[in-house]
Amino acid sequence: MKPYVLGIDIGGTNTVFGIVDARGNVIASSSIKTQKHTNFEDYLNELHTEAVRLFEANDAVDKIQGIGIGAPNANYYDGRIDNAVNLPWPSLPLAQLVSEKFGIPVAVTNDANAAALGEMTYGAARGLKDFIMITLGTGVGSGIVINGQVVYGHDGLAGELGHLIVKRNNGRLCGCGRTGCLETYCSATGVARTAREFLEARTEPSLLRNLEIEAITSKDVYDAAMNGDQLAKDIFNFTGTILGEAMADMTVFSSPEAFILFGGLSKSGDLLLRPLKEAMDRNMLAVFKGKPKVILSELKEADAAVLGASALGWEAK
Ligand SMILES: [Zn+2]
């Protein structure tokens, strides 16, 4: 048994990877841009070059037991990603290609499942057997844990709660081709879309009007809200309400002890959490009222995904 694994988290914007030891210490980590590589071969070449650089700098060459990867729509059973709408290369045999390039066994799962594994092993979900991880990033991902096990479903693809339809009529177009999905409202990009909609539909002054409308990010909305901007606060109320309503619906499915929120937007604090908890409570089936906790991830964003992915690396064959 070699002493390290490589954990890789492939996000729509960035790919973060790290060398992890058997105790879950991230020995060293680095990242590359996912978005700029429309060609997977170019992407894999850069990932390999940077990872080998990291191995060399940390005396880890030939000491990597396996590679674990978390990526959108990655299938734990067959190692493929298929129809991953937030990636530049939506369908390919990910585990096989990475394994051939590195000469190291690879196991994959979707990024939110990886985050759930990381949270269960090292973070806010330690000791929890039933929880739902919600990742609020470029998209909205989820990892469902029941009886201490990540739920993969019969085909390896379970847990796509970001594509629950929360608006049946006139919903926003989603990358998945349907309309009204949760992630079109509650992802970072969803918040930016809401900002554009609100700015166009309303006339009151707002700090956000000083910005180029197409370039507004969720961080800009957060900054404006923290500076007391009412329109920005309304954007968070709108976002938190939709997410809270959806979480009330999710509760009836698996009765989670907690929801763990992860990703940039989850750091918005009460701007997001207050409307979220109110909406969750208003919409909760009576028998579940007041039961599921809402917890923020305790892990550094990069670490949770890398650690979770790395946990799979030990299983890779
Ligand atoms: Zn969708």
Amino acid identity of residue 160, one-letter, is E
CA distance 32 to 46: 8
DSSP summary character for residue 291: -
Which CATH superfamily includes the segment(s) 4-117+301-313? Answer: ATPase, nucleotide binding domain (3.30.420.40)
User: What's the CA-to-centroid distance between 12 and ligand 1, angstroms?
Assistant: 15
Report in angstroms the alpha-carbon separations of 109 from 9, 71, 112, 296. 10, 6, 8, 22
Q: What's the gap in Å between 138 CA and the centre of ligand 1?
A: 13
Fold: same for 4-117+301-313 and 128-296: yes
- Residue 117 CA to residue 138 CA, distance in Å, equals 20
* CA 304 – ligand 1 centroid, Å: 24
| pLDDT band, very low/low/confident/very high, at 301 (cuts 50, 70, 90) | low
299 pLDDT above the threshold of 80 = no
CA–centroid distance, 43 to ligand 1, in Å, is 25
Whose tokens are 């590589």? That residue is 37
Cα distance between residue 140 and residue 202, in whole Å: 27
The 10s digit of each residue's pLDDT in 176-217 is: 899 999 999 999 999 999 999 999 999 999 999 999 999 999
Q: List 165's β-bridge partners, or say none.
A: 181
Q: Report the CATH fold assignment for 128-296.
A: Nucleotidyltransferase; domain 5 (3.30.420)
pLDDT digits (tens, 9 = 90+) for 227-267: 999 999 999 999 999 999 999 999 999 999 999 999 889 98
What is the pTM (predicted TM-score) of this model?
A: 0.84
Q: Can you give the residue ranges of every domain in the chain? A: 4-117+301-313, 128-296
For the chain, the average pLDDT equals 93
Find the 63 Cα to ligand 1 centroid distance in Å.
40
The rounded Å distance from CA 296 to ligand 1 centre is 24
62 Cα to the center of ligand 1, angstroms:
41
Q: Which pLDDT tens digit goes with each residue over 100-158? A: 999 999 999 988 898 898 888 778 898 999 999 999 988 899 999 999 999 999 988 89
For 52-103, write each residue's pLDDT tens digit: 999 999 999 999 999 999 998 899 999 999 988 779 998 999 999 999 999 9
Q: How sure is the predictor about 302, in pLDDT bands with cuts at 50, 70 and 90?
A: low
CA of 183 to the centre of ligand 1 (A): 7
